[in-house]
Amino acid sequence: MGIFSLLTGIPGQSGFGSASTAEQVTQGIDASNLTAIVTGGASGIGRETARVLALRKAHVVIAARNMDAANEARQLILEENEDARVDVLQLDLCSMKSIKAFVENFNALHLPLNILINNAGIMFCPHQLSEDGIEVQFATNHIGHFLLTNLLLDKMKSTAKETGIEGRIVNLSSIAHLYTYEDGIRFDMINDRDSYSDKKAYGQSKLANILHANELSRWLKAEGANITVNSVHPGLIMTNLMKHSLLLMRILHMFSYLLWKNIPQGAATTCYVALHPSLKGVTGRYFLDCNEMEPSAFAKDEKLAKKLWAFSQKLVDSCTKIEK
């Protein structure tokens, strides 16, 4: 899958390619026995992902910071499909307090959990810290999903065990993981303002998404849990994610418009990895245009993944102690 395939939309080994839409890659799949959480499901490719999962009869929980947008997304799904099962719950991934409250509220619904799609994110932000004192792109894109996933793992394990249905976790990364700081992850300088680069900080957080998926995949395989964990690059799509660099992205789009996808195409790889039966048992992989791809050397570094896991857990633990 190279530039030629991206430009032409020619299908890869999976039978799908860059021109495939989320509806096309899930055609004929019955997800009526599945429950899925989609973070950032109120807009952009997250909303399209939630819509298509609901169209395939999954029970979808939209997790979003903006409840007005989340309720609007739910209403649009119901207008298209009155039998859709869609709930909305508030979630701010920049806040550990909010993440814990979300998990409590989800558990109160007494639903199973088969699919977790860690879709939400922010991009190219000016330097700022989260309410927990962590650089905001790293906090939102990685640490928030790291904590959320850990808090939901027991539910996913019990669901997989009780139903015999494979659980799936999908981390939305980006090809931007190739453009990060010199050491990949700046463990000792996560919050450093003077050397901060909004582009490299974003790349760092997207690299962390892949490393997180790979390390969690190894843990779950060793444990024998019936859950797969994969990461995806959705492609270049003009969404609200670009709000901090809208002018730059519009200029870039003008000169490279053939490389960009629309939103239904952008949600395709996520939906493919979350639902397609051909990926049963496939875990710890990186997907682009609905086909497996090789990520960067940093992304395949097991030592770096283990170091990131320990670092992330320490960050979460230290913030939890401050809360208490």
For 274-302, what is each residue's pLDDT tens digit? 999 999 999 999 999 999 999 999 999 99
Measured between alpha carbons, how far is 234 from 301 in angstroms, rounded to an integer?
22
Half-sphere exposure of 66 (CA within 13 A, CB side): 11
Of 110-114, 251-255, 263-267, the least confident: 251-255
pLDDT of residue 240: 52
Q: Which of 196, 202, 272, 286 is catalytic?
A: 196
If one compares 226 and 245, the residue with the highest pLDDT of the two is 226
Q: How confident is the model at residue 256 (pLDDT cuts 50, 70, 90)?
A: very low
Measured between alpha carbons, how far is 50 from 78 in angstroms, rounded to an integer?
11
- Domain ranges, ordered by start, for the chain: 21-323
| pTM, entire model | 0.92
pLDDT of residue 324: 46
User: Does position 243 have pLDDT exceeding 50, yes or no?
Assistant: no
pLDDT of residue 294: 96
Residue 257 appears among annotated catalytic residues: no
User: Does position 248 have pLDDT exceeding 70, yes or no?
Assistant: no
pLDDT of residue 5: 53
User: Does position 258 have pLDDT exceeding 90, yes or no?
Assistant: no
Q: What share of the chain is helix, strand, coil (3-state, %, to 5)?
A: 50, 15, 35
pLDDT of residue 161: 98
Measured between alpha carbons, how far is 14 from 12 in angstroms, rounded to an integer?
5
Q: How confident is the model at residue 200 (pLDDT cuts 50, 70, 90)?
A: very high
Checking phi first, is residue 9 left (phi over 0); if not, alpha (psi -120 to 50) or beta? Answer: left
pLDDT of residue 110: 98
pLDDT digits (tens, 9 = 90+) for 79-92: 999 999 999 999 99
If one compares 294 and 258, the residue with the highest pLDDT of the two is 294
- pLDDT average, residue stretch 254-259: 46
Number of C-beta neighbours around residue 308 at 10 A:
22
Helix axes 198-223, 302-323, angle to 10 degrees: 100
Residue 64 corresponds to which tokens in the numbers above?
């979003």
Q: How confident is the model at residue 63 (pLDDT cuts 50, 70, 90)?
A: very high
User: Does position 263 have pLDDT exceeding 60, yes or no?
Assistant: yes
pLDDT of residue 236: 75
Name the architecture of domain 21-323.
Answer: 3-Layer(aba) Sandwich (3.40)
